[in-house]
Each structure stands twice: as structure tokens, then as C-alpha cells.
Structure 1
Amino acid sequence: MFTFASILVTICLVLIGLALRYNYLRSKQHYEDKQQKSDADDIVYHKYLNTHASVIQTIYKQILPFTDSYCSNNELAQKVAYIERKLPSITFKKNIHLDNSLSSSYQAIRTYVTHGEKLRIAHNTSFLEREKNRSKKYFQTLLSHPLDKQQVDAILHDDDNTLVIAGAGCGKTTTVQAKIAYLLYNKLAKPTDILVLSFAKKNADDLKEKLAHLGINCRTFHALAYQIIKDGESEPAILPPNEVERTIIDIHHRMCTDKTYLSSFNDFVLNGLRPILNNSEFKNDAAYIDYLKDSDFESIQGLLAKRRFLMHGHDKSMVGEFVKNGEHCYIANFLFLHDIPYSYETPFFVSLREEEKAALDKQLKRYKPTFTIYLNGYDAQRIKTCPFPQDHLIFIDHLPTAEYKDTLIWSDDLHESYRSRYIKSYAHEFKEKTIEETLISHLSKYGVPLRRKSNEDIYKILEEAYGKEIDAVLKLIQTFITLFKSSGQTFDRLIQSNSQQFRQDGELQNRNEQFFDIVHRIQLAYQERLKFLKKVDFDDLIHSATLKVKNNRYQHAYKYIIVDEFQDLSINRCKLLLALKKQRYCKLFAVGDDWQSIYRFSGSDLTLFNQFGEFFGHTVVRKIENTYRFAEPMISISSRFILKNPYQIEKTLRNPGNRKTEVFFEYTQDNISHLNQDLLHVLQKLYAQYGQKLQHKSMLLLGRYQHDINRIQDAPDVKVSKKHSYIEIHSLLRDIQIDRHGNTVRNNQLQLDKKIDFQTVHSAKGLEADIVILINCESGKYGFPAELSDDKVLNLLLSGDDQYPNSEERRVFYVAMTRAKEKFYFLLNRNKQSKFIRELHLDHVGPLASPSQQCERCGGELRFIKNISNKICTSQMYGCTNFRYGCDYTTFRKTTAVNAVVDNDSY
């Protein structure tokens, strides 16, 4: 009998068998359907191949093969576009049963379309290796010096766009020259197929001379634009850059008759060039003092006194008003412009008997109110003979509220006890914009007549005291207009960008809008003047040429556009290049160095270089890093310095030779204004090193400004030609060595008669000399960095981000350092060293002062003041050299001997 379990097992086995049978039949049907479909695909594929057999063979034989030349991205794209146009795409399964040459050709075509970029790269890699070997002798003998491997590599790359990043002294112009010669020699282009562009006329003329034998015409962008416009039309009348500057200055002077404009301009010169910040806005005292040194605040009264001393030899003791910060400067100028006589930080003056004076505590003896105001015709001298000076004085103290609570209580009690008139002002009143209201209120309460000078009188005063500031504002206006016209911006968009970009800084927003109001009026008047003169400036010239190219009213036939000094490209020049490339395909070969982009004032926009591919499309980037001008340690020092800005493109410069380029920090011998003795001291050191060879060494003096040559005075041994920018040295140099016995072992001398050119850094770009001396390394408005040139308002007109502090000035400083072949000297004033010098010294030499000689409060240098003796010992008193900026730190160091000798050589 069958049990229940056996029946259940039987049923399961039957079900399994049925399932297996079903799966078998299903798989068989699927296989038969698949085979049938495969056969159908084979038939369709076979039909497709036969239909397009001729096209497939043509493409396979004529389009696919790479020629023995560089294949550009555009060439590949054109081939792929041709294939897709001529050969309709069709989708098949991967495994096609047809196995013949036609099928293989078609599969090769599909692989080319899908993986063409990899194939192009592999071909170009192979071609470049062959071509380097084949042309090795050509590049070794083409010019006076063989080209290095990186130069050859850059030249042989022949893509749609090639950006060559070449360091200072790496042979940018040589590379351009060799690229053109290579194109012509290999018949890749004819002379008429090549357009060579440079930015400065000097560079264009230099290239033109070097390329003349090749039949190549080199132009500036403006010369190209001029040619484009006059083609088939009348020649445009051009307003050259020097006349642009004069025109803007003339418009400004005419607008000064408008009270609204003049008031706004005066206020911007007085308060808009440098932000007024207080100590609480900085991380420490050192950072705050660095800001004060860079800002170099000077009051009108102090500057006028200094000017009178320099021009008329007035008493030097009158030239002593050095305001400590921007807030003090603002109040000083407020008092001066309201005809209120004052003195700055003079000792608190009261009329006392001798016994009362002796009883004064030290705090009162040292007390100097921020401002002392003189009434009723008195001044700092006459008040000393007044029996009741309190009746004719008002004292003002300006202090940060929180930090000086005890001082304020003490000063309140003091003035109450002497019944003197006392005014307090606070830092927060500057932030709240109530400082002027506070001063007017308190002064009016004490009956001080407030008669603000007229805008016309204020402007005349500013011309005398702040003449350089006025020049800086007018230069900023000219730069702004250049960038504004180049960028194609509108003032409405600028106001919007200003609100967005500086939304965290309301004061800067308001300041920029004040500047917009000034520059907008000048810009409108400037355009009207051009219209009246029937002239165009360079920006209008390039804009008109760009429109003509875009509208195809000018047709070019260039195959190659080669641009030297590409880092100087402006937005409008970029638009012209893009219009030429869009009208007719041509290859762009650009050579430059982002580390040397220093012409923002003429419209250059470094973002166009740093983000080259985003503007011009597919780009090959090559680097040339062998510099033949300067060597270590200057290479490391200058490279580390410029790369502090993260927006600069990294490259590793090296010198293939064994020589050195030495760097020296040479401190001035005293605090007098001219540098004659310091310059002669450097020459004396150079004679000790070079001997008679010094006579034949090339030398160059560099300054940040043209007026830096005034730091050297005309004298019998140093003749200065300011008109022609050079000095002549006529000095007897000696090299004497005495042994330990007092015997003279060497006594050489050289009558040095040498002409040394002076150049600003901008004009020296591209130049070099054996020995270079930088004579402006100071902090301040007219120091290096030039704080008035790196204005944040210009960032609103640039196409990208270059927000690193002093980015443009850092590049200018780098250009200065990289002019020297053998020796570079920083000529320094120890008390006014610029932030760049402090940075370089710290990075490569060490702190400017040893820890024992540093101020514990601000990090400044301590200087010996005097010996203080008693019966036990002598103490040496040291004070901080940043005393002028508000640091009154002092310290005492005991010595064992009463007659201690102080070594003062290091100060």
C-alpha cells in the first residue's frame, strides 16, 4: 500500500519534472527566437555595409589615418563630424557574425568615433617624440642659442589653443620667434597666414625687427584694430593714452566749478582713499601697527608744516605733527578745515607755582591730551605767557571706550580739578558716523566759532598738502574708466555687484558708491569730449574693430594668431581675439607669465590668463621653466614670495648654470631724506667684491614711482638727471685690508665714473642688469607696496577673483626682484620697512630683531634710549620703535658696570 508520504514524494517529483520540461521548452524557444533575430541582424547589418560600402572604405582609407603631423582637437572634431554626417548611425548587438574587411573597417570607424580623443593623444605623443628627434639639430642651430627641451615641446604642440607659461628670463620672445620659424620652415603656414600680436609698442617693434627677415609683420592690438577699422573706411582719429590722461585731468578741473562735485571729490581725497579702522578690528597690536604703517596717515597741518620746512627752511621743531592713526587724522583735519587752531599731543599745560609743579605725579607729567585747542588768538607758544591759560584752551581726548576706562576716570577728575574745558570722543562714533556731529556739538557748547572753509579753499589746501593723493584719485579714475569701457559694464550693474560682493562691509559699499558718483560724471563728460573731438581712444578703437569682425565687415585669412606677453590681455582685447577665431578657424599660440601681470591700470585682467581654457576652449598648457637671467638663491626667494598668492599658477623655475644671484638687505645709515651716502656705501662694497671689473658691470636703479629718483640728491660725486632718468657716479672707491699687526696688505682704489639708469619697475619690465638696486622699500602711501594703487573698487570690473591682499603690487615687486643677474640690493630704512621686506626677511633671514630685542606688546624693534645709573648698577632703558604709532612699551635691563657701553650698531 502506498503511504501518504510516498504519494507526496511522487507528486513533488512529477512537479519538478514538469518544471524542468517547461524551462527546457522555454529556453529552446528563446534560443530559436534569438538565433532568428541574430540572423535578421546579420542580414540588416550586411545590407547596411553593402549600402554604405563606398563611404566606409573612403572614410577608413582617407579620414581615419593620422598624418605625420600634430592632430589638433579641432581636426579630430571635424573628422568625427564628417563621419557622423556621411555615415548614419545604426545600433547592433555586439557580436556580429559577419567577418570580412568591410565589417572590420566599419568597426574601426565606430571605435574612432567613440575613442577618438585617446587615439589622438596616443598619435600626438608618438609624433612629438619622432619630431623632437628629427628636428633636434634644427632647434639647436636656429637661433644664437640652442632652445631647451621645454621650449621645443611648447613649439611642437600645435593644438587649437596653446598657452605657454614662461617664467622671467625663460625666453618668451625666443620661443615666439622659433615657433614662427618652425611653421614657415615646415610649410605649415605662409607669412601672410600668421598674425603676431604684442601689447606694448616697444615689444612689438622688437619682435618686428627680429622677424623682419621672415616677412612677418608684428602689431600691437591697437595697430590691428586700426587696420581693421580703416579697411574700406576712413581712418579713425585716435586720442593717444597720454592725451587721455590730460583730458581726464582737464575734465576734472572744469568740474571743480560744480560745488556738488568738488565737495564729493574733496571728501573722497580726505576720507575715501584709506579705511579708518581701530585697534579692536585687528587680531593683535602688531597687525594694527602694520595697517597704520601702510596707511601712513598724515594731517593737513603736519604736511603743510613739513612742506614749509623743506621749501623755506623754517624751524624743524615745527615739523612734528605725526598723527598716530586715522581717527586722530580725521579729527585734526576737521579742526584745521574749520579754522580752529590746535596742537597734537602736547603736554597738558596749566599755570602753576614751582612748588605745585614739583608735586605733580608722574602720570600728570606724562599726560598729553590728544588735541589742545587754542582760543582768542593764542597758540602753543603764546599760551605759555598767559596768566590764565584755562580760559583760552579746550582739551580733546580720543580713546577707545572699553580699554581706557581707568584713564577716562582719571582724566575726568583731572580736568574737573583744574576747571578746564574737556571734550571726549570715542572710536564707536566713527562706526556710527556721528563723530562730526559730536565734535560740532561739544565745540559749540564751549562757544567755539565753526567756520568751515569753502570747497574751493579746501581744494587749494589739498593740492598743496595732499597733492599726491589727488594724483592717486585721478589715476584711479583713469584706470577705472579703462577697465569699465573694456569690460562692457554699466553703472547699474556695478552698484548691484558692489552690494553683493561687499555685503559684509557697509562702509566700503558706501565709499565705492561715492566713488561711482565721481567717476560716472567724469566718464560721461569724457565720452562727450571724444564725440566733440571726433576721436576715439584705444578702448573704443578695439571695441569698434570687434564689432566689425563680428558683423563680417572685415574678413581675415590667418591660420595662426601668436600673442606675446599674454598676461597683459584685457577683456576688450580678449573679445577681439574671440571674434577673429569665431569668424574663421585659426590656432592661437599665447605666451606669457601670470607672475608678471602688472598692467591692471591699462586694463589687463589676469583671470583671462589663469582661466584661459574657459574663455578660448580646448587648450594645451605647456611650461618653460629654465631661466637664463637669474639663479639661486633669488629663484627660491622670489618664487616663494609670489606664490604666497594662491591665485598664481605654480611653476618651478631653475637656472641650468652654476652661477648665483645674491640678495642683500642694505640698511640706510641715517634717517635723512636722501640716499647718496647709502648708495656710495653699496658701491664701495661692490668694489670690494668685483675690483676693477665693477667698471664694466651693468647696473640699474629701480623705484616704484618716477619721483623716487628724488631720493638721490645732486652732489659732486653723484650727478642726478631727473629729466633723462639716470645718475652719474664720480667717486673714488677704496679697498683696503690691514692685518692684525697693522700692516696694509691691500690698498686698491678705483675712480668710478659710471652712468646708472633709473627706471620705475613698470618701465623696467623686460630689462636686466648685472646689479640692481631697489631704492624704495618703504611702507606707506607711496612706498612699496603702493597702497593707493591696489584699490578694491577695481575688483568689481575684473572678470574673476584676485582678492589676495596687494596681489598686483606683489607681482610688481616680483618683477623688480627678477631684473638682476648677479646681485640684488634692497636699500632699506630700518624704521619704515614695507610689509614685503618684513615678509622676505622673516622667510629667508629670520626676524628683523632677535627675541630679546622685540617689543612684547606689538613685536616691534626695541631701541636703546638711555642709561639710568644709581649706586648699585646701571640700567639700560629700551623703547619700542613703534612709539609713533601708539606703542609706548619700555623696558629696563640691568648691567653690572656703571659705565656700561651700549652697542648701537644694530639700530
Structure 2
Amino acid sequence: MTEWRPGWWARAFRGAGSWVLSIREGRLRVCGIPQEVDADVIDVLGLAVDAGSGQLIVTLVHGTETVLNGLSRRAVREVAAAYHSELDERRHLAALLSKAEEQGETARLWWSRVQEVMNRPRWADQDTIAALEGSRPDVAAWLAADSDPRLSGLPKDKREDQREAVDACRTTDLSAWTVQRNEAFLEWEKNELADFFRTVEKSPLTEEQTRATVCFDNRVRVIAAAGSGKTSTMVARAGYAIQRGIAEPTEILALAFNKKAAGELSDRLVSRLGNDGAGVASSTFHAFGLRIIGEATDRKPSLPDDLTADNGIGRLARIVDVLRDQDQAFRRDWDLFRLVFGRQLPDLGGEADPEKSDRNTGTSGFGTLAGEIVKSQEEVMIANWLFLNGVRYQYERPYAYDVADAHHRQYQPDFYYPDIDVWHEHWALGLDGTPPPHFDGYAESMQWRRHTHVRYGTRLIETTSATIRDGSGFEHLEQELRRHGIQLKEDPYREAAGEPPISDQAMLALTRSFMSHAKGNRLTPDLLAERAGRTLRARLFTRLYGVVLAEWDSQLRAAGQIDFEDMLNLATDHVESGRWMSPYRLVMVDEMQDTSAARAALVRALMKTPGNYLYAVGDDWQSINRFAGSDLSVMTRFDNWFGTASTIWLDRTFRSPQSLCDVAGGFVMKNPNQISKNVRSSAPETDETVCAVSVRERSHYGSVVRQHLTTLDSELTEPATVLLLGRYSRSKDDVISALEARYANLTIEFNTVHASKGKEADYVVVLGLERNGFPSIVEDDALLQLAMAAPDSYPHAEERRLFYVALTRAKRSALLVTRAGRESAFLLELVGDRVVKIRSATGDDITPVVCPKCKKHTMRERKGRYGRFFGCTGYPTCKGTMKLAES
């Protein structure tokens, strides 16, 4: 019921009158009385019943009282219930209306902000758009109010004023609009600042360089191909930021990998931008970190001079010498690693490139300290361990009994110990006790060999791949040898006639590189030990590292000094804690691919201030400084480090011909972890831009290179430059005669490939494309992955990038120099891809046939029971064959 009136009895005998009370649609009305009531239920202060007379008293908010007689108690209860029900509903609707008004106003303000951002003459950056997207208002209540006939309290003109904004909140695709709007802005800027883009550098900026300049997202990653003009974009970026008022010159910081690069960038900024360029801060990371610490603490830290001189290798050598003299356990571990565990092992069942061959026997494999050639690197470890401990052995000596039959050739166990008449078999078995799946017939062969020893009563020691790798195999071997009567006599200085062990210098370089990565990623020795897991090689190395690190840090503390990694970490801490406030709005980083984890953390700290801009330029294909701590993931996983970023490609090169770009790019892109790009060349094409020449002996390098240069010189009519590149500086000795010769048109320079980064020449000669020389098997040690945040496990990943750098120094052509029968795996890969031919010194085509199975070795003609055929020179690791006709 929504209407009440006094009954006839009350009207007849109690003078109640003929009033009517109604409560509906949020209003309370009383008719039939001198002062009728028509009020919103919210304006009714209350309903009360006089206890004596039973009168209903209606009190309004302004104090007016209306007294109604003649209602029964039941009716009074009904009126009260109806009133409270309508009041609750009215309050609910009022709250909805208020929320609708609030949402409408919020939508209007949001839409106004969106239009302001989209209409201003500046790139709409990611953080601004993300903030708008994150603050997009909820308009559900407004939409409900707009469609609810009960909610007429919001004036129509106000609703229409908010409707556009509400619709925009619901339907606007900010991402798509931003892309479209920024593209339009880019075109507008091209016209508006045409003179700037044409004159800011010596040559007008290309389309992609202009885009890289104008795209002012908060984080921009520029992937610049070799010779694409990346420095031009950094200069233009700074000039554009100043001209458009995005940043003052003193609010721009340019960070470079080394002092030379920082100086060159500074000179370029000044020469192109004048006084504005002089105001830009150009610095190395190390100098900048020292500045932060000095300003944050009023005390600039001290760094040892020898860190700058040789990256601390000399200091490390002195520490190791002292530890070897004073700590017997350290000396034993160091020598054990150097002599036995120095070379990394391939995965169980994986194919490793043979390092040595015997021309007399035709066997190939791996050299030991004692001088034998064994078939696997695990056997090298066993042989070298036996040599270290003074145990006499014979490798693959024919078994004491003639056991050859129709299915088995004469048995040759892996090792024989003549002093105790004991044989030793080393099985390729994993942790589960099974051989690799592709080792066909291996289990049956094991069973036959074991049965042979049982049958003839000969004694056998057994080790497995899994136990040698985790170290328990050496413990077992030592116990067995002692049990059979051999006394071990450890002597790391025993004269070795065979393959030299890894040098102390190589171990020092590996340790220093490991330290750079571990400190940069703030990994303690305990954490590294956890990462090392079961592998004895990794456990042994991290144990050595922990001892070295403790002494390294102790010496620094005693002298009141810090190293580069600690300095960068400390600088980062000062920025993150707010003890040092950055004045920079735009931070530009050159050669981002060579940035270490510590450098990246410092850059990330600088970006914590809202409204700052990061501009990182680099090329992951040219990341070649892992030995100095660089972490490729900073470039390849940029978003993980710094947040969502825009990526711009500078894929047009002005240096190398397209054919050379295709060879080099196709080669480096074999690694799926590299960022894909399609390099396009504006350089003129020449004939055979990449070719190889082979000599019989390394001593012939000088004559063949000199012959090549003499031919070039005779064909040229104008001056040209030549870069002779070696994997190591010692390669210079191989071509000293070519360097000292005089040429009419050639200017010749020798560099290591690392030192050639940033250089270019008309012609390039890459020396030493030999097995185990390039790629180097020492520099690419997998142990470094223990200390890296996101290691690249692709084989020879760093060396592959280094070879790409070598090729792309050339403006016209590159010559690769190799040795017959010792061709580099990289060179054979190019030959197998049919993009490079190998010629002799006399110009004959001697391109070998690459094994179709392993693709890492060449094929050699052999004679078998069914006639002549081609077999892989990697046998027995690879058993690839071809018919003569197929070759």
C-alpha cells in the first residue's frame, strides 16, 4: 500500500478530517489539509507517533510539523515501513546520481587531458600514454544513471556536456591513436625542421635517422647496423631535444664505453651543435660513477692505477702467486684446474672438433700432456690427471688376448696400467647409466667388453662420463689404483712433452672476466657455488674464485680503494637512495651492447625519476666485450631491464657492399638469440666481396698476404686503406713482412679484431681462420654463464659476433686466411653455405667438401671394403660419409 487516509470512525467521531497521505516515487505527499505537504522523503526529518493521542507527526527538515489523526496502529506501522523503504531507495538513487556526476566530471577531465596530450607539438611518449590508460575512468554509474528513468536529477545540459567524454572513455583506443598521431607528428616535424635535419650532420639525416631523432619515447632502443651512422643520431637527438625545449644542454648526459669513445662523441657534439653541444655532459661510465660518489659523500673514491693499466690482470697475478705460496689447498686446486679441468667439455654425446691429428696414422682427436692423441676430451682429462699424479699408462693398447671375430675387431681398452697389469674402460654414460640415444650399439659393445674381461680373468677399472664430470670418477679411480698397488705422486711441474695445459695467463683472464660479471650482478661466492651444481669443473672454479675474491677485496679495503665494479654498484646505490639527485632529463648511452650489468643498473637508477628519457644506441651483433663484463641481455632483453621501450632500426649501412652484408648477417643470425634485422647497403657492389686463401703452413701467411696486397696495389688508381686483423696481437708476427713492404696506393694497419671495433678500411684481411684459433675455445668459456643474468648458451656466440665485426670493417672486400686441413669451423660454415670459396696461393679453387652431417669438418677420400668413398675428417666423432659421385 502507498496511500493512507483516516477511517470513517475517526472522521465522524474524532474530527480527523479527510486528508490523504501517500508515499511513492521518493516523495511524501499529504492532501486535504490547509497546508498540504509535497516533499522528497530525504527532506522528511522523521515520523513520530504521539503515545497519548496516537497522532502521526510528520516533521520536515526545515522544522515544519504536520499532525495527522485517525490512523490505526497497523496503518502507522505500514506508513513507517513505506517511508523507510522509500528513503532507503531514494538514498541509494541519490548515491548513484552523485557517483554518476563524479564519474562524468572525472571523464570530462580525463578526456580533456587526453586531448591536451594529443594536441601538443611533441611526441606522445609511452609513460604519458600508459598513465592515461591507467587512469581511464570507470563510467558504469554514469551510464546506469543515463538510462535509468528514476534518475532525472542530473540536468540534461550537464549530461550532454559529459556524454562525449564518457563515450571517449568507453571507446577510445589510445594505443592505436598514439601510433597514428605520432606518425602524423613525425611527418609534421620533417617539414617544420627540414633545415635542422639537413644540416645537423655533414650529410642529411636519412629517414630512419630522422625517426630515431624525433621518436621521444621515455625509453628508446636504437639497433644500429655496422656503418649505419649511429653517432649522427646521438648528435641529432641532443640537438633536437635542445631545440624543442625537451631538455637544456646541461640536462643531457652522454655515456660511452671507454674514454676514447666519450672524447670522440664530445668533439662531435661541439663541432655540430656549438655552445649547446659543449653544455652536454659526455663521460665514461667509470668517470661518471666516480663523480656521483664524490658528490654524494664529499669524498671521491680511489681506484688502483693497475686496474686502468691492464684491467687488474697484474694485480690478480700477484694475488694468485701469493696464494699458491701460502695456501697448499689453493695451489692444489689451481694446478688441478689448470692441468685437468682447463678446457670445457661438450655436452655428453655432443660432437667436439678434434684439435690434433697424426698424419702418419690418420688419427685425429685431442692432445694430452704426455703427447698421445685420444678420442674424447674426457679421456684427455683422465690422461692428464694420470700424468699429474705420475701414473704410467698406455692409451688403447691392444688387449692381452686375441679376441677379434666376425663381429668384433681386436679389442683395445681405453687405458692400460703396466705397473699393475690393470685395464681401464671409460664409458660414455650419463647420470641414469645409459649412453646418448644416438650411440647405436654402445650398450651391446659394453656388455661384450665386460664379458671379455670376465672370460679371460683380467682386471678392469670403470669410469663414466657422469662420474668424471661430477668428480666422483677421479675419487674412484684413485681408490682403485691405490688398491691395486699404485702410489700417486702429484707433481704439477712435471715436464710435459705433449699438449701444453691452459696457461696461467688464460686462467687469470678468465677469472678477471668472471669477477667483472659476478660483481656486476652482485653474486656472492655462496650463490655462485649454488649455481655451479654437480659439475666438478664449475665447483672447482667457483671455489678458486671465492678465495681469490676474498684476497682481492681485502687488499682494496686495506688501501682504502675500490674496483670498477664496486664503484659502479656504489654509485647506483647513491642514486637509488636519493643521496645523489640526477640533473639529467635525457640520458644517451653509446654502444649499449657492451654495457655490463653494473652499468645497466646505474642507467636504470637514473631513469627512476618520472619524465626522464633514455636513448640507448647499439648493435647486439657487435657485442664483443664479454671478457670486460658486458652482458648482451641488456640489449636483447632491454624491456626487462628498463621497462617497455620503443625500438628503432638503423639497418641502412653506408660502409659494406650488400653481398658482404648478406654473408656477415646470415652468419651471425645463425644464433637465434640475436635480434633479427635486414641490413640494406647504400655502398657500391664489387666482385667477390668475401673470399679465402689457404696455405700449407702458418709461416706462409706473410708471403700470401703480401702477394694479395701487391695485386691490390697494382690494380688501384687511387689511395686505399687496408686493415690486417688478427684474433690475437701475436698474429702480427705472421705478416710482418707484408706490413713493412712499401705500396704505392695502400695504407696498411694491423689490429686485433677487438681493437678494430669502430674502424673501417677499404680492404680487410682476417688472419688465422684456423681450428681452435678463430673461434677461440678459451675466450668463450661457459663458466662465465654462471655469473651472468641471462647467459647466451649458443656455441661460440661471442666469437661469432667477433667474426661479424671483422668482416664488417671492410668497405670493399674481405680476405680470409686459413691453413689447409686446419680450416676454422666458421670458415667451413661459410663454405658449406656456399657463400665463400677457398683458393690456393696460386689462385686455384681448392674449396673443400664440407661434411653434410656435422657441417664442421671436411670430407677426405678414403678406401673401404666396398671401394673408395669420402669420409668426415672428424671421424670417429662424426661418421659422416659420401659417395664419390655426391662430392
What is the Cα deviation at residue 405 of structure 1?
7.5
Q: State the partner residue of 1:601.
A: 627
CA-to-aligned-CA distance 1:742-786 (integer Å, 9 cap, x gap): xxxxxxxxx669663222222111111111111122222xx2222
Greater RCO between the two (CA within 8 Å, min separation 6)? 1
Q: State the AA in 1 paired with 2:125.
A: S
- The answer to whether the 8 A contact 1:701-1:775 is kept is yes
Q: State the partner residue of 2:666.
A: 640
Measure, in 1, the Cα distance between the counterparts of 2:506 and 2:236.
42
Q: State the partner residue of 2:43.
A: none
What is the Cα deviation at residue 711 of structure 1?
3.5
- The answer to whether the 8 A contact 2:663-2:835 is kept is no
Q: State the partner residue of 2:873.
A: 882
Measure, in 2, the Cα distance between the counterparts of 1:841 and 1:51.
69
CA-to-aligned-CA distance 1:394-435 (integer Å, 9 cap, x gap): 79686768576799699989x99xxxx998666637746676
CA distance 1:156–1:249, shift in 2 (3 Å): same
- The answer to whether the 8 A contact 2:223-2:618 is kept is yes
CA distance 1:855–1:425, shift in 2 (3 Å): farther
- The answer to whether the 8 A contact 1:325-1:885 is kept is no
CA-to-aligned-CA distance 1:682-724 (integer Å, 9 cap, x gap): 335535xx6144x722111112222333434x5xx44xxxxxx
- The answer to whether the 8 A contact 2:774-2:826 is kept is yes
What is the Cα deviation at residue 825 of structure 1?
1.3
Q: Match of 2:366, SS?
A: coil
Query: Which stretch has the larger CA shift, 876-885 or 574-583?
Result: 876-885
What is the RMSD of the two structures over their aligned residues, measured on CA atoms?
5.0
- The answer to whether the 8 A contact 1:347-1:365 is kept is no
Measure, in 2, the Cα distance between the counterparts of 1:883 and 1:90.
76
- The answer to whether the 8 A contact 1:634-1:661 is kept is no
Q: State the partner residue of 2:555.
A: 529
Measure, in 1, the Cα distance between the counterparts of 2:854 and 2:774.
26
CA-to-aligned-CA distance 1:606-631 (integer Å, 9 cap, x gap): 22222222332232211111011112
Measure, in 2, the Cα distance between the counterparts of 1:576 and 1:852.
50
- The answer to whether the 8 A contact 2:413-2:423 is kept is yes
What is the Cα deviation at residue 331 of structure 1?
4.5
CA-to-aligned-CA distance 1:116-156 (integer Å, 9 cap, x gap): 44444443232122112222343123211111101101111
Q: Does 1:728 align with 2:728?
A: no
What is the 5 A alignment of 1:21-100? 44=97, 48=101, 59=112, 63=116, 66-76=119-129, 92-94=144-146
Q: State the partner residue of 1:542.
A: 568
- The answer to whether the 8 A contact 2:620-2:635 is kept is yes
2:312 counterpart (244, 250, 258): 244
What is the Cα deviation at residue 210 of structure 1?
0.7
What is the Cα deviation at residue 652 of structure 1?
1.0
CA distance 1:857–1:44, shift in 2 (3 Å): closer
- The answer to whether the 8 A contact 2:575-2:605 is kept is yes
Measure, in 2, the Cα distance between the counterparts of 1:806 and 1:612.
22
Q: State the AA in 2 paired with 1:630.
A: S
- The answer to whether the 8 A contact 2:218-2:645 is kept is yes
- The answer to whether the 8 A contact 2:720-2:745 is kept is no
Q: Does 1:482 align with 2:519?
A: no
Q: Match of 1:578, SS?
A: helix
Q: State the partner residue of 1:16.
A: none
Q: State the AA in 2 paired with 1:842.
A: G
Q: State the AA in 1 paired with 2:316.
A: I
Q: Match of 1:811, SS?
A: helix
Measure, in 2, the Cα distance between the counterparts of 1:466 and 1:152.
55
Q: State the partner residue of 1:234.
A: 299
Measure, in 2, the Cα distance between the counterparts of 1:834 and 1:59.
64
Q: State the partner residue of 1:199.
A: 257
What is the 5 A alignment of 1:866-881? none
Measure, in 1, the Cα distance between the counterparts of 2:855 and 2:585.
61
CA distance 1:442–1:886, shift in 2 (3 Å): farther
- The answer to whether the 8 A contact 1:661-1:820 is kept is no
Equivalenced residue count is 752
Q: Match of 1:132, SS?
A: helix
- The answer to whether the 8 A contact 1:728-1:755 is kept is no
CA distance 1:664–1:153, shift in 2 (3 Å): closer
Q: State the partner residue of 1:555.
A: 581
Q: State the partner residue of 1:568.
A: 594
- The answer to whether the 8 A contact 1:550-1:583 is kept is no
What is the Cα deviation at residue 260 of structure 1?
0.7
Measure, in 2, the Cα distance between the counterparts of 1:334 and 1:46.
81
Q: Does 1:453 align with 2:490?
A: yes
CA distance 1:672–1:884, shift in 2 (3 Å): farther
CA distance 1:655–1:49, shift in 2 (3 Å): same
- The answer to whether the 8 A contact 1:546-1:579 is kept is yes
Q: State the partner residue of 1:166.
A: 224
Q: Does 1:106 align with 2:162?
A: yes
Unaligned runs of 5+ in 1: 1-32, 303-320, 351-359, 376-392, 500-505, 719-726, 731-750, 867-874, 895-906
- The answer to whether the 8 A contact 1:63-1:79 is kept is no
What is the 5 A alignment of 1:275-354? 275=344, 281-282=349-350, 287=351, 289=353, 297-302=366-371, 321-339=372-390
Q: Match of 2:723, SS?
A: strand
Measure, in 1, the Cα distance between the counterparts of 2:338 and 2:666.
36
1:473 counterpart (466, 491, 507): 507
Q: Match of 2:313, SS?
A: helix
Q: State the partner residue of 2:727.
A: 704
Identity between Structure 1 and Structure 2 (%): 26
Q: State the AA in 1 paired with 2:728.
A: Y
Measure, in 2, the Cα distance between the counterparts of 1:578 and 1:851.
50
What is the Cα deviation at residue 100 of structure 1?
7.4
More helix by share: 1
- The answer to whether the 8 A contact 2:589-2:615 is kept is yes
What is the Cα deviation at residue 523 of structure 1?
0.8
- The answer to whether the 8 A contact 1:60-1:109 is kept is no
What is the Cα deviation at residue 856 of structure 1?
9.9
Measure, in 1, the Cα distance between the counterparts of 2:448 and 2:109.
95
Q: State the AA in 1 paired with 2:464.
A: H
Q: State the partner residue of 1:831.
A: 821
What is the Cα deviation at residue 209 of structure 1?
0.8
- The answer to whether the 8 A contact 2:624-2:754 is kept is yes
Query: Which stretch has the larger CA shift, 838-847 or 208-217?
Result: 838-847
Q: Match of 1:764, SS?
A: coil
1:514 counterpart (534, 540, 546): 540
Measure, in 2, the Cα distance between the counterparts of 1:160 and 1:271.
51
Q: State the AA in 2 paired with 1:615.
A: W
Q: State the partner residue of 1:762.
A: 754
Q: State the partner residue of 2:810.
A: 820
- The answer to whether the 8 A contact 2:722-2:748 is kept is yes
CA distance 1:537–1:877, shift in 2 (3 Å): same
What is the 5 A alignment of 1:383-782? 428=464, 431=467, 450-455=487-492, 457=493, 466=500, 468-499=502-533, 506=534, 508=535, 510-583=536-609, 585-660=611-686, 662-673=688-699, 675-687=701-713, 691-693=715-717, 696-712=719-735, 714=736, 717-718=737-738, 727-730=739-742, 756-780=748-772
What is the 5 A alignment of 1:774-793? 774-780=766-772, 783-793=773-783
CA-to-aligned-CA distance 1:423-463 (integer Å, 9 cap, x gap): 8666637746676578768877997x6451345x36xx589
Q: State the AA in 2 paired with 1:168.
A: A
What is the 5 A alignment of 1:252-271? 252-257=320-325, 258-271=327-340
Measure, in 1, the Cα distance between the counterparts of 2:570 and 2:392.
57
What is the Cα deviation at residue 113 of structure 1?
5.2
Q: Does 1:143 align with 2:134?
A: no
Q: Match of 1:557, SS?
A: coil
Unaligned runs of 5+ in 2: 1-85, 358-363, 428-441, 839-845
Q: Match of 2:367, SS?
A: coil
Q: State the partner residue of 1:178.
A: 236
